[in-house]
Amino acid sequence: MKKMLTGLQPTGVITLGNYIGSIKQMVENQNKYDSYLFVADMHAITIAQDKDELRSNIRSLIALYLACGIDPQKNKIYIQSENEYHTNISWILECNTYFGELSRMTQFKDKSLKNVNFSSGLLTYPVLMAADIIAYDAHYVPVGIDQKQHVELARDIAERFNKKYGETFVVPAPLISDNGTKIMDLVDPTKKMSKSSENKKGTILLLDDLNITRKKIMGATTDSGAEIKFDEENKPGISNLINIYVSLTDKSIKEVEIMFKNKKYSEFKTAVADVVVETITKIQSSYNKLLNSKEIDSILDDGREYTKKIAKAKFELMKEKVGLGRGE
């Protein structure tokens, strides 16, 4: 069975964009692939975090995974920092990755521009991400468009290592859905929906109050004209709402355009708000039951033990290939 793997950062409550771009794809494919889903807490500290908030966000994210429909029987669920082999593997990979490649990553360029004193972890972050992926020989990595470049780098790193030291890793590929790979900000639909947006009205968080969620959608920026038509260039606001609707109902764009032909923007927004609120309501009610359950700890213990064995074996293999330590 082929493997599928992804991770999310525990920096605040995740957004509807995170859900549609990655978790929903994991849920939809969990019967098809051997699945791995983790909390990327080591990635979170590339930017300063409050210690207590980070801890509580980690647990909250695990509860959200389960509440979104991630089945612990079908997924290995774990916390990145509980498995030290990720960083061990990452170091060897770093020594096989060029500075130029890392400094050309779009996210690094954006984030480093915003902050003069950025950490070197912000530069090397995609190598740790490559380690997370190739340690398990993952074939598919469900991500949104914003992480595609990083998965492609993981591909390059795996290929380069295989060529230099002999077959060691499966070469991964991003798994990108047709719609919803980039859910945009509701206020400024030319920007990605993001936890860190300054205007909170543009972002839907999975744990947002339901009335506020509805208001955010009803207040979403729309475009001139009156037609409900998918046209990302000229109608970015409506196209984003169509993308959200399509992703949560599994209808096609064409079907949605026909359903809402000659309908007002406000009628369409109400329909989008209904499906978003319905989705979030379900997630929140199971989240509240799960958050303090003992089940989470036993899932994480199992996940840690299982994944540690795999990552350790890969690290030992890499050491052998590279000539580290004393050998067998």
**Closest approach of ligand TYM to the CB of residue 20, in Å:** 6
- Name the nearest CA neighbour of 283 among 100, 21, 27: 27
Interaction of residue 75 with ligand TYM, rule CB under 6 A: no
For residues 61 and 250, what is the distance between their CA atoms, to the nearest angstrom? Answer: 25
Interaction of residue 141 with ligand TYM, rule CB under 6 A: yes
**Closest approach of ligand TYM to the CB of residue 31, in Å:** 20
Q: Looking at 195, 229, 263, 321, which residue is catalytic? A: 195
Interaction of residue 137 with ligand TYM, rule CB under 6 A: no
182 vs 214, which CB is nearer to ligand TYM?
A: 182
Q: Bridge-partner residues for 39, per DSSP?
A: 8, 79
Q: Looking at 192, 216, 269, 314, which residue is catalytic? A: 192
Hunting for tokens 């994944």 — which residue is that? 307
Tell which positions 265-294 bind ligand TYM, by CB under 6 A.
Answer: none
Interaction of residue 21 with ligand TYM, rule CB under 6 A: yes
For residues 175 and 154, what is the distance between their CA atoms, to the nearest angstrom? Answer: 13
Assess contact for 58 and 98: CB atoms under 8 A: no
Q: Write the DSSP assignment of 243-309 as a string of letters.
A: HHHHHHH---HHHHHHHTTT--HHHHHHHHHHHHHHHHHHHHHHHHHHTT-THHHHHHHHHHHHHHH
Q: Bridge-partner residues for 5, per DSSP?
A: 36
Interaction of residue 43 with ligand TYM, rule CB under 6 A: yes
Assess contact for 60 and 10: CB atoms under 8 A: yes
Judged by CB under 6 A, the residue of 3, 4, 20, 175 near ligand TYM is 20
The verdict on whether 192 is a catalytic residue reads: yes
Interaction of residue 236 with ligand TYM, rule CB under 6 A: no
6 vs 239, which CB is nearer to ligand TYM?
A: 6
Residue nearest to ligand TYM (CB): 21
Assess contact for 287 and 63: CB atoms under 8 A: yes
**Residues engaged in binding ligand TYM (CB under 6 A):** 6-9, 17-18, 20-22, 40, 43, 129, 132-133, 141, 143-144, 146-147, 181-183, 192-193
